[in-house]
C-alpha cells in the first residue's frame, strides 16, 4: 500500500500549507508499529500535530509514551523493526522552495530523505556523553553535516564551523575544533551537539530531552542558548521532555502524550492553568516545586501502597525518636592524584581535592539533604561515609542508641562488618544496582545471609515483609529484576537497604534516574518509611525541588566544600551564598507565569568561584560561619 502512494504531495487549494504559509510540519494520524518476536506492538497511535515556523512545540510524556519514536519518524531514523503503518508527515522543505514532501513515504536511507535529515531538520540528543563519536574531533563531526548539505569549500566550511562553535558559547572555538569529545565537560559536549545540529541552519530542530543529563545551572544556559539561536534563525523547535519546568519556560504550545496517544494539546498557559486530561492533572501534581505548603504531599500518578506487618512492628520507634546527633562528620578531606600517563605527557601528577575539610552533623530522625552539581564531591563524601573509601583526614562518629558512639574510620574487619548493619545505601541507578541473575528473593535475602541472620524460613518471611513494605506483591519474589519497571526496581533497592533494619540510610540520588511521575511515588515512599520506622536519611541529590520536598536541613556543596548549611525554610527563603543563589535562580518552575530570568542567570556565577564576590572566594582561608539559627555560610576568615 505504501509503495503506491507518492511522497510528492500535490499542493492543491485545500492543502493546509497554502492556507497557512507559516506551517512547517504537519503530522496527520501517524501510527507506528514495532515488530517484536513476530508480533506487532503499536508504539504510536493516531498522532496528529503541527509546527509553524519559529515556534516551539513541547512534546511531553513519560518514558515509553512514544514521544521519541514520533521524533524519530519525523527524522526518518526509526529503528529497523519499526514501520509507519498509517498517516503522513508533511514537511514544507525551505531548502526546496517550500515544496511539501511526505516524509512517511520516503525510504529511510533515500537521497531525498538524507537531504532533509541534518539539512532541514536536525536533532539534539539527551546524552552528550555518548552521542558524539569518541574518536573524531569536534570540528570534524560538526563540519561533516555542513559539507554534506551545503556547498562550502574546505576552508569556508571550517571557518563557518568555528563561527558556530563561538555562537554556542565555546570559549576557544579554534582550539575546540581539534579537541575530542572526552576532553570536554558535559555542558560543552552538549553545546557541541547543538552546534552540530544548528550548523546547517535547519528549519526545524528536534531537541530530545536536551538538558536532562545536565546540572540545573547548565540546563538554564542551554535552554537560553537554544532560545537565542531560535530567534536569530527563525527556527522551529520541537522539544521533547518530561520536565514540566522546562516546558513552562520554553514552549509556545504543548502536546501531551500518554501510551502512544495524544491526550491533550494547546497553548502553554492553558495547559498549565486548566489541564483537562486526568493524566496531565496527575502529572502536574506529582512534580515537587518550591511553592509547596509545609506538609503538602505529592500525588503520584500511580501511588505505591505500602504496608507494615507484624515482623516490622518491633522496628517502630517506641514513643518519640530520641533527640541528638546521629552522625557527626569532622573535617573530612579526600584528594585524588591524577596521573597524566597519556602517551605524550611526561607522567606528571596533580592532586585534586574532591572533599575539602567538610564538617556537619546529622540529627537523629531528620532527613539531611546534600545538594551539589556533578563533580562537586558529594558522591566521594557518601563513599567515605559508607566506608567504601578511606578519608585522608578527619573522622566520622556514629552515635548508636544502645552502643554509644563509634569512630567509623578506625573500624576494621569484624567490627566493620558488624557496623554495616546500622547504615545502608540506596543507589542511584536502579538498573545497574540489582544483579540481573538473582531473583528478588535472593536479592533481599543476601544481606541476611552475609550477616548470618535467621534460618531460611525466617529470611523468606522477612523478604515477604520487606516487599510488602515497599508496596510490591510478595508473589514478585520469584521474579528477576528485568521484569520490573525503574520505579519498582528502585523500591526493591530500598527494600534491600532496609533488610538489616538500619537506622541511617544514605540515599545517593535515588530518584534522578526515574521519570517524574515515578519520582513522586518513590519520594513519598521514602518519606513514609522514615516516619514509620524512625529512620535518619542522608539524601544526596542535584535536584533542588526534590530536596526541598523531602529534606529538613540542607547542605550545599561546591568544589569539595560545603558553602551553605541551613534549614529548608532558611535556605529557600533567604539564601546567602552566591552559589546557592545562582542554583535557586536556575531551577525552572513548572509555571509559565514564572519564567526563568535569563538576564539574571547571565550575571550569576554558578560554580565558577572566580566570579563570586571577594568575601566568598575559596582562594583564601575560609570559615563556615554561623549566621544565626544554625544557618552556616562559608565566607573568608577576614570578612
Which residues lie near other proteins (CB under 8 A)? 75, 77, 109, 113-119, 122-123, 125, 127, 130-137, 144-145, 148-149, 180, 182-183, 193, 196, 338-346
Q: How far is CA 334 from the centre of its chain?
A: 27
What is the DSSP-derived secondary structure letter of residue 65? S
Instruction: Give CA–CA dist 193/209, Å, rounded.
Output: 13
Shorter beta-carbon distance to other proteins: residue 30 or 116:
116
Shorter beta-carbon distance to other proteins: residue 140 or 446:
140
Q: What's the min distance (Å) between Cβ of 138 and other proteins?
A: 11
Shorter beta-carbon distance to other proteins: residue 345 or 638:
345
Q: What's the min distance (Å) between Cβ of 180 and other proteins?
A: 5
Shorter beta-carbon distance to other proteins: residue 338 or 416:
338
Shorter beta-carbon distance to other proteins: residue 229 or 523:
229
Q: What's the min distance (Å) between Cβ of 328 and other proteins?
A: 31
Q: Are 181 and 189 in contact (CB under 8 A)?
A: yes
Residues 6+ apart with CB under 8 A from 383: 389
Q: What's the min distance (Å) between Cβ of 23 and other proteins?
A: 23
Picking from 304, 240, 305, the residue whose alpha carbon sits closest to that of residue 487 is 304
Q: What's the min distance (Å) between Cβ of 445 and other proteins?
A: 34
Name the burial class of residue 154, with classes exposed (0-12), middle (13-18) and buried (19+) by CB atoms within 10 angstroms of its CB: exposed
Q: What's the min distance (Å) between Cβ of 632 and other proteins?
A: 32
Q: What's the min distance (Å) between Cβ of 433 and other proteins?
A: 22
Q: Are 193 and 211 in contact (CB under 8 A)?
A: no
Shorter beta-carbon distance to other proteins: residue 136 or 163:
136
Shorter beta-carbon distance to other proteins: residue 75 or 371:
75
Q: What's the min distance (Å) between Cβ of 179 and other proteins?
A: 9
Cell of 129: 556523553
Where residue 413 falls (left for φ over 0; alpha for ψ -120 to 50; beta otherwise) is: left
Q: What's the min distance (Å) between Cβ of 621 and other proteins?
A: 30
Q: Are 507 and 530 in contact (CB under 8 A)?
A: no
Shorter beta-carbon distance to other proteins: residue 72 or 580:
72
Shorter beta-carbon distance to other proteins: residue 210 or 493:
210
Q: What's the min distance (Å) between Cβ of 5 and other proteins?
A: 23
Helix (H) or strand (E) holding 525: helix 516-533
User: What is the layout of strands, in order, in the sheet containing 325-339?
Assistant: 349-363, 325-339, 393-399, 405-407
Shorter beta-carbon distance to other proteins: residue 68 or 428:
68
Shorter beta-carbon distance to other proteins: residue 120 or 536:
120
Picking from 522, 584, 511, 515, the residue whose alpha carbon sits closest to that of residue 243 is 515
Where residue 277 falls (left for φ over 0; alpha for ψ -120 to 50; beta otherwise) is: beta
Q: What are phi and psi of 495, to 5 degrees?
A: -60, -40
Picking from 70, 37, 13, the residue whose alpha carbon sits closest to that of residue 258 is 70
Instruction: Give CA–CA dist 228/56, Å, rounded.
Output: 12
Residues 6+ apart with CB under 8 A from 407: 395, 396, 397
Ordered DSSP codes for 111-180 = HHHHHHBTTTEEEE-S-TTTSS-TTS-HHHHHHHHHHHHS---HHHHHHHHHHHHHHTT-SSHHHHHT--
Q: What's the min distance (Å) between Cβ of 237 and other proteins?
A: 15
Shorter beta-carbon distance to other proteins: residue 199 or 504:
199
Shorter beta-carbon distance to other proteins: residue 120 or 543:
120
Q: What's the min distance (Å) between Cβ of 589 and other proteins?
A: 30
Instruction: Give CA–CA dist 211/246, Å, rounded.
Output: 9
Grid-cell match 509503495, residue found: 3
Neighbours of 2 (CB within 10 A): 12
Shorter beta-carbon distance to other proteins: residue 113 or 633:
113
Shorter beta-carbon distance to other proteins: residue 25 or 423:
25
Q: What's the min distance (Å) between Cβ of 216 and other proteins?
A: 23
Q: Are 368 and 553 in contact (CB under 8 A)?
A: yes
Instruction: Work out whether strand 121-124 and strand 23-36 pair parallel, antiparallel, or are unpaired.
Output: unpaired
Instruction: Give CA–CA dist 562/377, Å, rounded.
Output: 10
Ordered DSSP codes for 164-227 = HHHHTT-SSHHHHHT--GGGS-HHHHHHHHHHHHHTT--SEEEEESTTTTS-HHHHHHHHHHHH
Picking from 426, 423, 633, the residue whose alpha carbon sits closest to that of residue 526 is 426
Q: What's the min distance (Å) between Cβ of 177 and other proteins?
A: 14
Q: What's the min distance (Å) between Cβ of 131 and other proteins?
A: 4
Cell of 387: 566506608
Q: Are 6 and 105 in contact (CB under 8 A)?
A: yes
Picking from 230, 306, 378, 321, the residue whose alpha carbon sits closest to that of residue 529 is 306
Amino acid at each position: 500500500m505504501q509503495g503506491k502512494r507518492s511522497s510528492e504531495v500535490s499542493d492543491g487549494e485545500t492543502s493546509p500549507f497554502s492556507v497557512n504559509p507559516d506551517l512547517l510540519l504537519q503530522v496527520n494520524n501517524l501510527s507506528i508499529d514495532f515488530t517484536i518476536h513476530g508480533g506487532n506492538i503499536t508504539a504510536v497511535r493516531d498522532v496528529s500535530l503541527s509546527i509553524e515556523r519559529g515556534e516551539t512545540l513541547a512534546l511531553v510524556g513519560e518514558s515509553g509514551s512514544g514521544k521519541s519514536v514520533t521524533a524519530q519518524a519525523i527524522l526518518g531514523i526509526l529503528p529497523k523493526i519499526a514501520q509507519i503503518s498509517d498517516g503522513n508527515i508533511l514537511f514544507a522543505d525551505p531548502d526546496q522552495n517550500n515544496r511539501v514532501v511526505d516524509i512517511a513515504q520516503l525510504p529511510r536511507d533515500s537521497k531525498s530523505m538524507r537531504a532533509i535529515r541534518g539539512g532541514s531538520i536536525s536533532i539534539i540528543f539527551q546524552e552528550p556523553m555518548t552521542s558524539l563519536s569518541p574518536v573524531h574531533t569536534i570540528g570534524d563531526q560538526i563540519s561533516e553535516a555542513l559539507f554534506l548539505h551545503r556547498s562550502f569549500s574546505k576552508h569556508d566550511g571550517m571557518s563557518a564551523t568555528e563561527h558556530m562553535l563561538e555562537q554556542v558559547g565555546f570559549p576557544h572555538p579554534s582550539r575546540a575544533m581539534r579537541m575530542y569529545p572526552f576532553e570536554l565537560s558535559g555542558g560543552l559536549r552538549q553545546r557541541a551537539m547543538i552546534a552540530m545540529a544548528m550548523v546547517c541552519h535547519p528549519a526545524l530542530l528536534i531537541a530530545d530531552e536536551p538538558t536532562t543529563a545536565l546540572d540545573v545551572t547548565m540546563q538554564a544556559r542551554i535552554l537560553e542558548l537554544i532560545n537565542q539561536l531560535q530567534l536569530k534563525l527563525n527556527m522551529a523547535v520541537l522539544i521533547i521532555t518530561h520536565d514540566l519546568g522546562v516546558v513552562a519556560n520554553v514552549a509556545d504550545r504543548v502536546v501531551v502524550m500518554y501510551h502512544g496517544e495524544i491526550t491533550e494539546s494547546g497553548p502553554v498557559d492553558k495547559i498549565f492553568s486548566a489541564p483537562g486530561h486526568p493524566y496531565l492533572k496527575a502529572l502536574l501534581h506529582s512534580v515537587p516545586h518550591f511553592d509547596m505548603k509545609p506538609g503538602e504531599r505529592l500525588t503520584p500518578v500511580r501511588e505505591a501502597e505500602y504496608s507494615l506487618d507484624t515482623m516490622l512492628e518491633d522496628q517502630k520507634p517506641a514513643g518519640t525518636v530520641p533527640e541528638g546527633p546521629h552522625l557527626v562528620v569532622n573535617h573530612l578531606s579526600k584528594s585524588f592524584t591524577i596521573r597524566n600517563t597519556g602517551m605524550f605527557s611526561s607522567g606528571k601528577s596533580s592532586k585534586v581535592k574532591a572533599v575539602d575539610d567538610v564538617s556537619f552533623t546529622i540529627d537523629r530522625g531528620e532527613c539531611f539533604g546534600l545538594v551539589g552539581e556533578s563533580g562537586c564531591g558529594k558522591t566521594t563524601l557518601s563513599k567515605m561515609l559508607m566506608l567504601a573509601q578511606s578519608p585522608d583526614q578527619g573522622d566520622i562518629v556514629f552515635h548508636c542508641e544502645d552502643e554509644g558512639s563509634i569512630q567509623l574510620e578506625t573500624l576494621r574487619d569484624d567490627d566493620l562488618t558488624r557496623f554495616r548493619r546500622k547504615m545502608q545505601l540506596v543507589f542511584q541507578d536502579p538498573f545497574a544496582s540489582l544483579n540481573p541473575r538473582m531473583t528478588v528473593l535472593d536479592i533481599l535475602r543476601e544481606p541476611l545471609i552475609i550477616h548470618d541472620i535467621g534460618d531460611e524460613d525466617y529470611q523468606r518471611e522477612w523478604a515477604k515483609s520487606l516487599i510488602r513494605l515497599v508496596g510490591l506483591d510478595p508473589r514478585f519474589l520469584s521474579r528477576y529484576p528485568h521484569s520490573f519497571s525503574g520505579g519498582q526496581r528502585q523500591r526493591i533497592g530500598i527494600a534491600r537497604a532496609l533488610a538489616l533494619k538500619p537506622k541511617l540510610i544514605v540515599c545517593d540520588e535515588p530518584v534522578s534516574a526515574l521519570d517524574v511521575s515515578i519520582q513522586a511515588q518513590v519520594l513519598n515512599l521514602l518519606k513514609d518509611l522514615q516516619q514509620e520506622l524512625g529512620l535518619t536519611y542522608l539524601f544526596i541529590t542535584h535536584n533542588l525541588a526534590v530536596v526541598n520536598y523531602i529534606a529538613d536541613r540542607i547542605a550545599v556543596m561546591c568544589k569539595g566544600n560545603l558553602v551553605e548549611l541551613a534549614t529548608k525554610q532558611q535556605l529557600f527563603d533567604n539564601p546567602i551564598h552566591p552559589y546557592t543563589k545562582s542554583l535557586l535562580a536556575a531551577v525552572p518552575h513548572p509555571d509559565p507565569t514564572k519564567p526563568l530570568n535569563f538576564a539574571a542567570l547571565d550575571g550569576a556565577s554558578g560554580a565558577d568561584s572566580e566570579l563570586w564576590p571577594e568575601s566568598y572566594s575559596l582562594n583564601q582561608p575560609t570559615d563556615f560561619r554561623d549566621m544565626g539559627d544554625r544557618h552556616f555560610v562559608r565566607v573568608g576568615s577576614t570578612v
